[in-house]
A = this chain, B = another copy of it.
Amino acid sequence: MGDDDFFNNQIHMISFTEEKSSKDMIFQQAFFSSSSSSSSLQSNLKPCSPFPTGGYVLSFDKPVVEPLYPKKHHSPKSLAQSQYCVEPKAFPRTRPRVHILAERKRREELTKSIVALSATIPGLKKTDKVNVVREAVSYVKQLQERVKELENQKRKESMNSIILNKHRPLSINDQATHGFVDVNEELLEVKVTVLDKEVLIGIYCEKQRQRLLKILSLLDNLHLSITHTSVLPFGTSTLKITIIAQMNNEYNMTIDDLVKTLRQRILKSQDMQK
């Protein structure tokens, strides 16, 4: 669990004119599974390029030793293989150092961000860099899909109240709102609950001729015997219908199917009315 500790256990030397940089790298080094200790100065030689004279040479950043890159990495071994060349002429070698530092910083920050990313994605086993990013991609897609899914469901749930607001001026300027109201955006909510052999059906819909009659016959066709009903007017143009019914032996639908077919049939009969 505690995996944030191995910072600062190694102090890379100071080098002349500071360059503090203790506690560096390490981090992902340890995180991404690797050794831990380090600080094997390992020679700071590097190829010195920009010479029109041809001839590729090496040099320190300064004509002096300069332990500039203290953080190489992985301690053991080496140190014996410090090899270098000396530059024939000392040059204003003050620039590359800032470059090196900047680049170091950049790299550091990339790995750090990747570590942060790996922290957000659950069930990650291979903490290797590319794998982290890849898993992140698929995880993001997965999350996006889940969100979309849930939001669609929610839309259905809260549809009635939204449509309610739309229908509020219904009786006033009925014809005036055309164009903004989708034909399929009927006000219709169906909810079904099952308990043993009984079914509780709640329907919230627009007021219409023969509304209850049609629904009851529809239920009869689906092998449901009505035992109680209640029809309550809500506002000027909507109804709340509640029905309790008994499943016959022939009945064998799932709840979802029942809801769907009820919605379909009721909507169809609504269309036919218009």
A59 to chain B, nearest CB (A): 10
Q: How far apart sit A106 and B134, CA to CA, in the bound complex (Å)? A: 13
Copy total for this chain: 2
Chain B residues closer than 8 Å to A228, beta-carbon distance: 232-233
Contact residues, A51-71 vs B (CB, 8 A): 51-58
Interface string of A201-222 (1 = CB under 8 A from B): 0101000000000000000000
Using known A-B contacts A49-B81, A83-B51, A85-B56, determine if residue A157 contacts B160 with beta carbons closer than 8 Å.
no
**Are A47 and B50 within 8 A (Cβ)?**
no
Chain B residues closer than 8 Å to A260, beta-carbon distance: none
Is A244 part of the contact surface with B, judged by Cβ < 8 Å?
Answer: yes
Q: How far apart sit A122 and B85, CA to CA, in the bound complex (Å)? A: 50
Chain A: residues with Cβ within 8 Å of the partner, total of 69
**Are A84 and B56 within 8 A (Cβ)?**
yes
Interface string of A170-196 (1 = CB under 8 A from B): 000000000000000000000001111
Is A7 part of the contact surface with B, judged by Cβ < 8 Å?
Answer: no
**Are A137 and B116 within 8 A (Cβ)?**
yes
Q: Which 6 pairs from chain A and chain B are nearest by CB?
A: A230-B230, A150-B150, A113-B133, A143-B143, A56-B83, A195-B235
17 CB < 8 A contacts A-B:
A55-B83, A58-B58, A113-B133, A113-B134, A117-B140, A120-B137, A120-B141, A121-B140, A150-B154, A154-B154, A160-B193, A193-B204, A195-B238, A200-B204, A228-B232, A232-B242, A240-B244
